[in-house]
A and B are shown apart, each in its own frame.
Chain A
């Protein structure tokens, strides 16, 4: 498959456990945050998003938490499955500077069966 990044931070979890992936974002003016999942050989895929006027949002098996005070974002995956193995990126958007999306370096999640 495609190599999406060498020396990425890695998280290894047992199947069925909960996973928490953390991200520090850079710009206090950012007002929209997204988590993407990238599987080998594919493009990043949207998982969940959150706007700056919220501090928590839940989806199916996933929860995103936003702490604006310390510029921290986290993705929680409940009951992690082998199909969750991938690289996860956080991303931040803001209108300042021309509608750019800034991506984090990514975290590689391994799920042990």
Chain B
């Protein structure tokens, strides 16, 4: 089944403790992206990647890192999480990035205390 898989679904952590949210897609998509979704603010892009070893900042990149060492994986790294990063995170992929639809994972609910 074609899908985007992100883990974990739920994560509670404390301020400053490094964490990684994994994302994997099995559709051989070139483009991958991370979003956060907050009430009243909608979906905002954090980082995106057009291909392996190519990443770029989205609208809200501060406090996040990403890497794209393999085509299928695009982990999101929070080196020192803070409470303002409490949010619902979505990973997505698409064939090209600009003229094909995004396929989303089911989200990761992160709480930073």
Contact = CB atoms under 8 A, between A and B. Distances in A.
B70 interface: no
Interface residues of B, number: 28
B42 A106 contact: yes
B39 A100 contact: no
Contact of B45 (A4, A89, A95, A100): A100
Contacts of A5: 37, 39-40, 42
The prevalent SS among residues of A at the interface is loop
Contacts of B98: 32, 93-95, 99
A43 to B, nearest CB: 3
Interface residues of A, number: 31
A99 B40 contact: no
A67 interface: no
A73 interface: no
Nearest to B9: A41
A43 B107 contact: yes
B75 interface: no
A105 interface: yes
B27 interface: no
